[in-house]
Structure 1
């Protein structure tokens, strides 16, 4: 695989040479609001909390984030918390997902201050890619790209950790490709090609080279093959292949995308998605990992039968029901909630971290997945119910049958109304347990609902912003899932499980 050492001096010069321009349009794709009425309590909460959440994110980004003094320019800090737990680091995964939200928010709003943060992030990542760390060096094989976290000034973190983690490079590539396509649309293709593509190319080379190697999952606990990592890696490689073609450059590693998509099929066990395979864990596999993946690869124009496992895919919906149902009896605060009501959602029922509690970002992610699915059904103008997804729909619309419901029918509208109400009920759970000041920690107590673990978690804030945008009917442009190559007939062998012990 080919790795390119970016010229940081040239990068800064080129970034500074382009005026920051606001995008055209509001990015709402004409889908309208999923809310009930502007005066409703939930609408008011979402509108107010979105502003708090976006500012909460900005407060945690260097160099001028008010809660993270000492953070370098463009470095996203996970949380200002330094004790119990110490999250005062920059994780590649959290940073990329946060900046993807910022890129989308910039495209929707045209806020030049957000674009300045994006530019700083690009510069910081060009440097970060070359930092030698415990996962390895940048050259010759790019092993260091699998390092999960760094100090907030960009220096290496030398402590023991779950290494490597392979989702960070894929997510950073997705974020930078999303911004590159905005630049191309606004007459700045040269900048996308000469400044940003070398960074993207390094991450895609890493993905193409390592997709069938095991690593630690997004919760940094399980060493194996992670559904989230594989699903997002496929998007990165498939999207990279298309962007490379548009820029007239070569994407080393992107030809592996069909193999990765084929591997994604292995996570379905016939009833639900198994979050981690090729591992020795004894857990059920029901895990919030499988919520975050589909909303990260969401494509407004994707088919619900796409093997990318979009939010509206039958397997995604069946998994959603199985996962959500697992939490109905797991937490005291979910007691007596009906099957058509949202619940507080955690990582997995066997979780023991801080006692195993619901997470804000997974509760809002549940709502976001449903808003995404609704938008996809509206876009394709029909909804297909089959034996796999039937149980999901029956909780919400008991008279539903396995068939195709077309958009010009009363039943179609009634089904979507029921799912919209279901999505809103997850937001209502988040509202119920959000403090009066709107601050979002990592978790909230399974019995009392009180916030706990890391305070002002950047990912919690970012997840709320993306959910609120989807609820309002604002969706990012297609990333090209419909143009992605199909899985091969003769797939590559999957990775072996890691050794015991």
Structure 2
């Protein structure tokens, strides 16, 4: 049970440890990265558009394993929403089509249930918006949370631009997804890789964010988000259970899972719960937090020896990153999106340190820093200090080295598949993966200092006095068809 084609067909479905290079070497390496970004960016952008909507060329005459996943569509459309807000006005029609399609898709009964009995947790559908009825890993409870986040992103824009009435039309869809979250957050689910049934770090962190954002949207619209605030704190309390003291164990409460727990699940979670207004908060695992950086080292290091393409690459230099080192699917290879996520976390952290004005190193994060800056020591470094400048330069160089890996294993036509070979780097598995393209675009946006709006992490990071696993009872209602004013 694996992601084959990540489809967002919205109108159809819908003195350093690493020696500092000389100026000449650094310029050459940076130029290579810049050239790759310049050439790959339009290809990745078009690669996303090719897989969405009725006009997407990737949606025409698609292969038999071409589906739409609620999770992957939510992730992609969240990223498109951020790009629209950042100034790409041409994307709005795609966002509107996505909203319209989801209003219909929420009503489709499927093997997971109907709207009120768990059907929102169904992982995938045919692109003609009919249910997929064959055996699969069900439920996948990250989907409703991620769809809610994508919908809220656009609804917040509509409110900010004086189109509150249109935002009100989106609320019933959000309310349904949040009802699912409040009712199902404490139940086992399949993870984002569709393989392990248990409790997933990515799912829980996404659910916490969705509850925080939905509560704020409800207030802005004069609506009520029943149980959102209380459930959010309990979900956040549960998120803490995934921390081992040195890294994230991405899947817990499982049976027969013999993995070590080091998984790019945690990378994808951290970049999608990044809040540019948040402090370096361990509780929400912000990118610049000690927990995030310690986990970054642990996960990346787990791949250093296992892949042939990583042999001979010294500590403190980026390597190819897969889902988890025990992976055997399609031979267990690096993934483009996982390698991009490793870089994106570091660009997020750089943004946060610059905004906060301080970089802190703790006992927990120190091993991460000494890999790339040998003389790093526990302490707080102000942005105007020489140490801050040197350390952040080393982090930037390290982040760029992951882009160098992507560059090395991107074919000449710029296409991004799902994976690339662990020994020879050749593209493998699903071709033209929407999620791969979208991950490249968000990575370079963060590198350029383009960040999404805040989601409220700075005020949504309070743990309850006592943790409880109790869930709520969701209130669902079939959403009306959503239409949009003519241009």
Tell me if TM exceeds 0.5. Answer: yes
**Equivalents in 1 of 2:238, 2:76: separation in Å?**
27
Residue-by-residue CA offset, 1:300-355 (whole Å, 9 max, x unaligned): 01110251111111111111101100100010100011111000000001000001
Which of 402, 408, 429 lines up with 2:378 in the alignment?
A: 402
Residues 351 and 373 (structure 1), Cα distance of their counterparts in 2 relative to 1, 3 Å cut = same
Deviation, 1:38, is 12
Count of residue pairs brought into register by the alignment: 445
What secondary structure is seen at the aligned counterpart in 1 of 2:110? coil
Structure 2 residue aligned with 1:381: 357
Mapped pair 1:123 → 2:100: yes
Structure 2 residue aligned with 1:155: 130
Deviation, 1:42, is 1.0
What secondary structure is seen at the aligned counterpart in 1 of 2:86? helix
Residues 47 and 477 (structure 1), Cα distance of their counterparts in 2 relative to 1, 3 Å cut = same
Deviation, 1:41, is 2.1
What secondary structure is seen at the aligned counterpart in 2 of 1:483? coil
Maintained 8 Å contact 1:357/1:446: yes
Maintained 8 Å contact 1:204/1:253: no
Structure 2 residue aligned with 1:316: 292
Deviation, 1:109, is 2.5
**Equivalents in 2 of 1:494, 1:355: separation in Å?**
40
What secondary structure is seen at the aligned counterpart in 2 of 1:182? helix
Which of 17, 25, 46 lines up with 2:37 in the alignment?
A: 46
Structure 2 residue aligned with 1:215: 189
Residue-by-residue CA offset, 1:186-237 (whole Å, 9 max, x unaligned): 11122112x1111111111110111111110000000000000001110000
Give 1:65-104 correspondences, 5 Å limit.
65-69=56-60, 80-82=62-64, 86=65, 88-104=66-82
RMSD over aligned Cα atoms: 1.7
**Equivalents in 2 of 1:391, 1:135: separation in Å?**
44
5+ residue gaps, structure 2, are 1-10, 12-25, 472-487
Residues 39 and 321 (structure 1), Cα distance of their counterparts in 2 relative to 1, 3 Å cut = closer
**Equivalents in 2 of 1:169, 1:288: separation in Å?**
21
Residue-by-residue CA offset, 1:422-477 (whole Å, 9 max, x unaligned): 00000010000000000000000001000000100111011011111111111112
**Equivalents in 2 of 1:158, 1:169: separation in Å?**
19
Maintained 8 Å contact 1:207/1:253: no
Structure 2 residue aligned with 1:73: none
What secondary structure is seen at the aligned counterpart in 2 of 1:481? coil
**Equivalents in 1 of 2:84, 2:462: separation in Å?**
32
Runs of 4+ in 1 over 3 A off after TM superposition: 35-39
Residues 39 and 374 (structure 1), Cα distance of their counterparts in 2 relative to 1, 3 Å cut = closer
Residues 401 and 38 (structure 1), Cα distance of their counterparts in 2 relative to 1, 3 Å cut = closer
Give 1:27-426 correspondences, 5 Å limit.
40-69=31-60, 80-82=62-64, 86=65, 88-112=66-90, 114-139=91-116, 141=117, 143-193=118-168, 195-255=169-229, 256-280=231-255, 281-426=257-402
Residue-by-residue CA offset, 1:141-197 (whole Å, 9 max, x unaligned): 4x100000000111100010000000000001111111111111111122112x111
Deviation, 1:248, is 1.1
**Equivalents in 1 of 2:176, 2:415: separation in Å?**
36
Residue-by-residue CA offset, 1:18-71 (whole Å, 9 max, x unaligned): xxxxxxxxxxxxxxxxx979981211211221110110011011211012116x
**Equivalents in 2 of 1:243, 1:129: separation in Å?**
20
Maintained 8 Å contact 1:90/1:151: yes
> Which deviates more, 163-172 or 483-492?
483-492
Maintained 8 Å contact 2:145/2:178: yes
5+ residue gaps, structure 1, are 1-11, 13-34, 71-79, 496-501
Maintained 8 Å contact 2:212/2:455: no
**Equivalents in 2 of 1:398, 1:174: separation in Å?**
40
TM superposition score normalised by structure 2: 0.89
**Equivalents in 2 of 1:285, 1:402: separation in Å?**
27
Mapped pair 1:435 → 2:384: no
**Equivalents in 1 of 2:334, 2:130: separation in Å?**
32
**Equivalents in 1 of 2:233, 2:387: separation in Å?**
37
**Equivalents in 1 of 2:166, 2:461: separation in Å?**
28
**Equivalents in 1 of 2:399, 2:461: separation in Å?**
32
TM superposition score normalised by structure 1: 0.87
